[in-house]
Amino acid sequence: MGVKLLLEKANVPGIRTYDVYRREGGYATAEKALKEMTIESIVEEVKKSGLRGRGGAGFPAGMKWSFIAKPEGVPRHLVCNADESEPGTFKDRYLMEFLPHLLLEGLLISSFALGSNDTYIYIRGEYAWVADILEEAIVEATKNGWLGKNILGTGFDCMIHVHRGAGAYICGEETALIESLEGKRGNPRIKPPFPAIQGLWMRPTVVNNVETLAAVVPIIKMGGDEYAKIGVGRSTGTKLISACGNINKPGVYEIDMTISVEDFIYSDEYCGGIANGKKLKACIPGGSSVPILPANLLLKTAKGETRYMNYESLSDGGFATGSMMGSGGFIILDEDQCIVKNTLTLARFYRHESCGQCSPCREGTGWMEKILQKIESGKGEVSDIDLLWDIQRKIEGNTICPLGDAAAWPVAAAIRHFRDEFEWHIHNRELSQTSNFGLQHYADPIHVPA
Amino acid sequence: MSLQFNNEQMTEFKRLVARYPEGKQKSALLPVLHLAQDSFGGWLTTEAMDYVSVLLNIEPIEVYEVATFYSMYNLKPVGKFVFEVCQTGPCMISGSENIITYIQQQLGIKPGETTQDGIFTLKLVECLGACGYAPMMQVGKIYREHLTKEKVDAIIAEYRMQVAAKN
């Protein structure tokens, strides 16, 4: 069993309620932070922990906190990004649904460190029942003196508000999220100014992911140095992985980032192997926008070394032969899956979710979807593959926000690693409508679980 | 204006607006539109949107542009129960297509349509964050996960019973 810092108590009956959470030692860390620590020392511990943003970008959280401007007389805000919408990702939902008070405790400590008296949880609109769970937890925490005025007699006031979105992937981008929180369309802002200087209502704002803010609790509890000892290199602490697709045990797992990808997929403690006795074909290891990898490049790097479930190892080889940790949305595809079709559903997703502000993304995502639809339905031509490649290249890096990149990367990686499957579709128009390309050489040497 | 929140809805409206600082009441727009949609028959008429703009003291266009941007707001009538079935990658590789076809057969409608009795609407949606519990659909506030044909049958029967019990 690996180290568990976030989900350690997830199976305690009733842990969702304040009484049980408190009895299990909850809020003791918040008490320590508010009563015994200074703002500077909390930020210092988070910096020392090496905690990297768990939403997808992996930016050091302590450093992000240290950028917040502190102009005299201007309120500051902490915003918790609970707009979890990256296909393959459902870890924040699990955390909020089962351990709402852990998130609130992390929010309280972080709000204190950042000087936020009004903190917002921006939760995706579809998680309506999770929003209800959070609201209930806020009522309980307020009743017990952990939120409200003059918390624990320290003079610090803090209220946490739940704000439901209404269905828009783009609002996971922090400036789109802020626009949405202001009651507008989720159009990302041009940066600079960064939210740390001018964010919500043009006030200094820090936006952090749910898991990032929950991780503040174990960091303050054990100290940043101790936290940093878990994991490896710059991948410190634990990470939640939401595993899905063709595996025996889909679900949310907490890993300490020293486990190999192979063990994660095949061990009974985690994914439990590929479902229905099938073979592994490919994997999107960090949410739909990160590059898809064929089995042979997933389990071992291009250099033939074992690949591990951490930031550095998953990205080993760059985009040529590696991928990314991303949000931790781990999608497994078995031998029966069609890469063209999978890429098409993702292209459709990004076309649907493009906010329409930048031409390369607005036009490019729809164009890519159309071409992929054409190939998938047996009407493709070889030149379509080159056209797809050209379009994705012209979207990447040419948009205000990273959605453009997120839409381009899955298409690029699918062509990079599975070009012959695309060509097979084009050359076998009729056959491709009734059967799949299959495993072919993508899993060479084919993995045989022990 | 004929359309109005009742007392209970108005209390909820005030609770939502109170979350934001003085003068920033526009921030409550998304939550208030959810409230309006739930209060006024499951979709947003122009009248409902205009009413929200008056309540929040903003221009009607500020409401329209938001209502048309977010996928959860319905801009035309829907059935009592809206089946929002996820069709994105992880659900697709877990068999969502079969489920979508089956629902269409059972209800006799295509995506975007409502049954003649006004009970069911079928909508295809993009990733709802339930990839590990695929295939799935959202119905109102609830997620229906690990869908099979048998489960779909049971769900349809359950909602039909609910409607019959009310009549």
- Judge if B40 and B87 occupy the same domain: no
B104 and B131 within one domain:
yes
A44 at B interface, C-beta within 8 A: no
Domain's final residue, options A316, A334, A352: A334
pLDDT score of A444: 63
Whether residue A344 sits in one domain with residue A281: no
- The residues, any chain, with a CB within 8 Å of residue A401's CB and separated by 6 or more, are A170, A173, A175, A176, A188
Is the same domain home to B11 and B55?
Answer: yes
Contacts of A181 in chain B (CB under 8 A): 27
Structural domain of A350: 339-434
Q: What are the beta bridge partners of residue A209?
A: A81
CATH code assigned at B94: 3.40.30.10
For residue B163, the distance in angstroms to the closest alpha carbon of chain A comes to 22
Q: Which chain A residues are within 8 Å of B31, Cβ to Cβ?
A: 163-164
Sheet holding A77-82, edge to edge: A159-164, A118-123, A77-82, A205-209
**Does residue B57 form part of some domain?**
yes
Interface probe for B, chosen from A92, A124, A126, A242 (most Cβ of B below 10 Å), is A126
Count the residues in chain A: 450
| B111 assigned to some structural domain | yes
Nearest chain B Cα distance for residue A223, angstroms: 32
Domain shared by B22 and B59, yes or no: yes
Give bridge partners of residue A76 from the DSSP assignment. A116
Could you tell me if B122 and B100 lie in one domain? Answer: yes
Contacts of B89 in chain A (CB under 8 A): 87-88, 284, 288, 331, 342, 345-346, 349
Within 8 A by CB and 6+ apart from B114, the residues are B77, B78, B79, B120, B121
Domain extent, residue B122, equals: 81-166
- Are A135 and A129 in contact by the 8 Å Cβ rule? The answer is no
Contact: B127, A87; criterion CB under 8 Å = yes
Residue B136 lies in a domain: yes
Q: What is the residue-averaged pLDDT of chain B?
A: 96
* pLDDT > 90 in chain A, percent: 94
Which residues sit opposite A308 in a β-bridge? Answer: A260
Q: Which of A84, A166, A184 sits opposite B73 (nearest CB)?
A: A166
Using a CB-CB cut-off of 8 Å, the residues of chain A touching B98 are none
Instruction: List, for residues B116-144, the tens digit of each pLDDT value.
Output: 999 999 999 999 999 999 999 999 999 99
Asked whether residue B23 falls in the same domain as residue B96, the answer is no
Q: Which of A229, A256, A277 is the last residue before a domain boundary? A: A229
In a domain, B75, yes or no: no
* pLDDT confidence tier of residue A442, bands split at 50, 70 and 90: confident
Interface contact flag, A331 B129, Cβ < 8 Å: no
The verdict on residue A1 lying in a domain is no
Q: Is residue A49 a contact partner of residue A212, using CB atoms and an 8 Å limit? A: no
Token pair belonging to B90: 């992880």
pTM: 0.96
- Compare all CA atoms of chain B with the CA of A335 and give the residue at the minimum distance: B93
SS3 A221: helix
CATH number, domain with residue A425: 1.20.1440.230
Whether residue B74 is contained in a domain is answered as no
Cross-chain residue pair A331–B93, CB shorter than 8 Å: yes
Cα distance between residue A110 and residue A65, in whole Å: 9
Structural domain count of chain A: 3
Closest C-alpha among A368, A380, A372 to residue A426: A380
Whether residue B90 and residue A331 make contact (CB cut-off 8 A), yes or no, is yes
Q: Is residue B94 located within the same domain as residue B63?
A: no
Collapsing DSSP to helix, strand or coil, A262 comes out as helix
Residue A177 has pLDDT above 80, yes or no: yes
Q: Is the pLDDT of residue A213 over 90?
A: yes
Chain A residues near residue B133 by CB distance under 8 angstroms: 90, 250
pLDDT above 70: percentage of residues in chain A: 98
Residues B85 and B127 in one domain: yes
CB contact under 8 A, B89 and A169: no
Average pLDDT, chain A: 95
Residue B1 lies in a domain: no
- In a domain? residue A449: no
Cβ-Cβ contacts under 8 Å, A75 against chain B? 21
**How much is the pLDDT for A450?**
47
Query: B55 with B11: CB under 8 angstroms?
Result: no
- Residues A317-340 pLDDT 10s: 999 999 999 999 999 999 999 999
Do residues B90 and B162 both lie within one domain? yes
Same domain, A126 and A250: no
For an interface test with B, give the residue of A159, A171, A184, A330 to mutate (most B CBs within 10 A). A184
Please check whether residue B11 lies inside any domain of the structure. yes
Q: How far apart are the first and last CA of chain A?
A: 19
Query: Looking at the domain assignment, is residue A13 inside a domain?
Result: no
B156 and B87, same structural domain? yes
Final residue belonging to a domain, choices B44, B67, B90: B67
Weakly modelled stretches of chain B, pLDDT under 50: none
Chain B interface, mutation test: which of A96, A345, A349, most B Cβ atoms within 10 Å?
A345
Predicted confidence (pLDDT) per residue in A260-286, tens digit: 999 999 999 999 999 999 999 999 999
Query: Domain holding A128: CATH number?
Result: 3.40.50.11540
Task: For residues A194 and A135, state if they share a domain.
Answer: yes
- What is the number of CB-based contacts under 8 A between chain A and chain B? 148
Positive or negative, the CA dihedral A72, A152, A215, A166 is negative
The alpha carbon torsion through A380, A384, A385, A391 (nearest 10 deg) reads -140
- Residue B112 contacts A, CB cutoff 8 Å: no
Q: What is the pLDDT of residue A5?
A: 97
Query: Which among A148, A149, A121 is positioned nearest to A134, based on CA atoms?
Result: A121
- Is B34 near chain A, with CB under 8 Å? yes
Which band of pLDDT confidence, cut at 50, 70 and 90, is reported for residue A445? low
Phi, psi of A120 (to 5 degrees): -115, 140
Both B105 and B145 in one domain: the answer is yes
Total domains in chain B come to 2
**Given a cut of 60, is residue A448 above it in pLDDT?**
no
pLDDT at A446: 46
